[in-house]
Amino acid sequence: MTLKDHSPIIIRAHGLTTKEYNQIKKILDRTPNITELGIFSAMWNEHCSYKSSRKWLKELPTEGNQVICGPGENAGIVAIDERLALAFKMESHNHPSYIEPFNGAATGVGGILRDVFTMGARPIAVMNSLSMGSADKIETKEILRGVVKGISHYGNSFGVPNVGGELRFHASYNGNCLVNAFAAGIVNRNEIFYSKATGIGSPIVYMGAKTGKDGVGGASMASESFDSDDKLNKAKRPSVQIGDPFLEKKLMEACFELMKSGCVIAIQDMGAAGLTCSSVEMGDKGNLGIFLNLDKVPIREDQMTAYDIMLSESQERMLAVIKAGHEDQAKKIFSKWDLDFAVIGNTIEEDKLLINFNNKIVADLPLKCLSDQAPQYDRPWTSHKKRKLHTHIPSITIQGAIEVLLSSPNHCSKRWVWEQYDHMILNNTLKRPGLDAAVTRIDKTTYGLVFSCDSNPLLCSINPFEGGKQAVAECYRNIISSGGTPLAITDNLNFGSPEDPEIMGQFVNCIKGIKKACVELNFPVVSGNVSFYNQTDGKSILPTPTIGGVGLIKNISEHTAGKINENDFYYTIGETDAKTTALALLTELSQAPIENVNIKVNLEEEKRNGQFILCLFREKLISSAHDVSDGGIALTLCELAIINDLGFIVTEGSTEYFFNETQARYVITVNPSKEKELISLAKEKEVHLTKLGVAKGTKLCFGQNFLSLAHVNDLYHNVISNMMESKDNLN
């Protein structure tokens, strides 16, 4: 029987273009049925195929002596030593979190945790990078409240510390918030698991929770733009998954037990596109076909179709290829943990995805065409036109500028957020959220791990190339400021529509900047995610490439805790370029968008100054280090004063100097007894060193002008809580 062609409405609803639909028909030499169309839709969308970004992602450096597993698996892996390794990944859950903040954010945490433990790694830390709309909008507050509750619920219940992250507000995220989730875990190097299926006739087993209709079409929805019509967006709520962190904890332990049994050939979590993507990816990597019998899949809803089962994104599910003859052994493990387990298929020699349902074949597709041979586009792109250069700061005192920044939700403490997370569970967190980077210890070793999340969307929107470089460089500095040697990064690249040449140009130039920084700093990319179509009514978010970096402290007992003592001297590492823009302050004071700034990232200086800071840590010459980024030296000094509950006296200087955002700089503190040694070493290493002043008293003194520490502390800590408690009905 010849199938009737699908209507243009159905084709568009599946996120396919007419050209792509015709390509599918050509591949099959027939019209696909609705299940087959759904499978193609899931595998060919941006979220799964990277069809608009793959060309450029190939440019990123992914290799290094420390890299064990680069992009292409569930998570990247870097070596810690000859025995231990670290698996980590960052991924977006943007669209689900806007539609349904609590469940969208919660399942974002669940998904990234599965990515890590699928590799055989036990999760030890999570972070998140959040970008929200205008801080004075009721909708923003509602979304933020739901997102934070969702992250807290899943992470706290699962039992993994949330050790850091970032939060920003900007009008471009109205109608399209960003929720980027990061997770990391420890694994023995000889116990890493991959998703490559091998062996013809190997059983394919389903493990975990039952399959429902939640999340059907979630991957395709993640590759769509939003509409300002709230009804249309709410109609997408069924595509948002619902998670159960307690069940995922059981699933993880059962998977670890299965891995130790020796019967696992390949394993893959069911994330985006559920059973479709997990089965296709395992087959594709092993150059094998896949046969699935959907009649064997555990389901929890009546009248589920083959389409529903294949595209469901129900949470807490895994797929594995195991050794033949070990089915009963595997089933016993999952029965013990009170989890579903079923043999639902096997690998086949033919290049096919064969789906059986109700005792008949409902899908017969060439597997390679779904994955590795999915469409790839070389989208046209244009570079951002640079306009008038902004350098001059409106007349304002240093004290006034500090009050402006600390009163901004973008530069104040994010304590309201991280206090809702359990950052001390497992009792290995050494450095709490809210500082440069998080630090955790590794049980039964001398090692510490350093984690940081960083992005500068404002700079990326003005100069994507320098913005891409800056995000990597700031992550690098944050890790070094905590005493860690940078190892590698994961990236989460959030942009608008790639079909817009200017947006695509932002993406391309950010990639070029990231590549340049990663190469120069020996900071390879081992995993990541691209999130396109972050826009509403055609209005895009700021380009937001988020960098999640990891570093290693070999001997945690030698780590400088960062406690500043009275009479310690303040110094800056790195030379300040007077022509560099004070972007954070200028943005807060300007009524119009900033179109061009002078911020350049000198990677040679980044590397030299960073290595010098690590040398200072090793020699125990400093009591603290803090990188200089948004808000310049002034905001850095204020944060250190607040954290240490200790004021300072620094030399007189201009507003332009103190808020200047020259890169590659650090503020350090040193005991007077070690000052001469510091100066001597800086001269030897050819590092620029400038004395600022002394830690002292309860005032923040810039020459003769000062603010009280109590006042600054109050400003810094209460902005977000006051904002969230406000009853103002502003829209």
Question: Packing angle between helix 245-261 and helix 101-117, nearest 10 degrees?
Answer: 10
Residues 6+ apart with CB under 8 A from 441: 428, 430, 447, 448, 449, 556
Cα four-point dihedral sign 613, 616, 618, 621: negative
Dist CA 717 CA 324 (whole Å): 59
* 691 vs 678: CA distance, rounded Å: 11
Q: Which segments of 264-395 does DSSP mark as H helices, in order? A: 274-285, 306-311, 327-336, 367-370
Element (H, E) at 452: strand 448-454
Residue 477 half-sphere exposure, CB side, CA atoms within 13 Å? 30
Task: Report yes or no: 97 and 108 within 8 Å, Cβ to Cβ.
Answer: yes
* Catalytic position from the list 6, 93, 423, 626: 93
Beta-carbon contacts of residue 572 (< 8 Å; ≥ 6 apart) = 628, 633, 665, 666, 667, 668, 689, 690, 692
SS3 helix, strand, coil % of the chain, rounded to 5? 40, 25, 40
**Cβ contact 629:477 at 8 Å:** yes
The candidate with the shortest Cα–Cα distance to 471, out of 418, 528, 414, 421, is 528
Burial class (CB in 10 A: 0-12, 13-18, 19+), 16: buried
Q: Among this protein's residues, is 95 annotated catalytic?
A: no
Give, for 39, the enclosing helix (H) or strand (E): helix 34-44
How far, in Å, CA of 229 to CA of 206, rounded?
39
Q: Give the tokens for residue 146.
A: 């739901």
DSSP 188: E
Catalytic residue selected from 6, 47, 390, 411: 47
Is 170 among the catalytic positions? no
Q: How far is CA 698 from CA 598, 625, 713, in A?
A: 35, 21, 11
- Report how far apart, in Å, the C-alpha atoms of 644 and of each of 76, 430, 433, 694, 695 are: 36, 16, 15, 13, 10
Contact 238, 96 (CB under 8 A): no
- Cα Rg of the chain, angstroms: 26
Cα–Cα distance, 287 to 264 (Å, whole number): 18
Within 8 A by CB and 6+ apart from 721, the residues are: 415, 416
**CA quadruple 368, 369, 371, 372: dihedral positive or negative?**
positive
Length of the chain: 731
**Parallel/antiparallel/unpaired status of strands 438-441 and 448-454:** antiparallel
Among 208, 157, 237, smallest CA distance to 314 is for 208
> Is residue 276 within 8 Å of 310, Cβ to Cβ?
yes
Question: Tokens 């799964």 correspond to what residue?
Answer: 48
CB 669: neighbour CB atoms within 10 A?
Answer: 25
Active-site residue numbers?
Answer: 47, 93
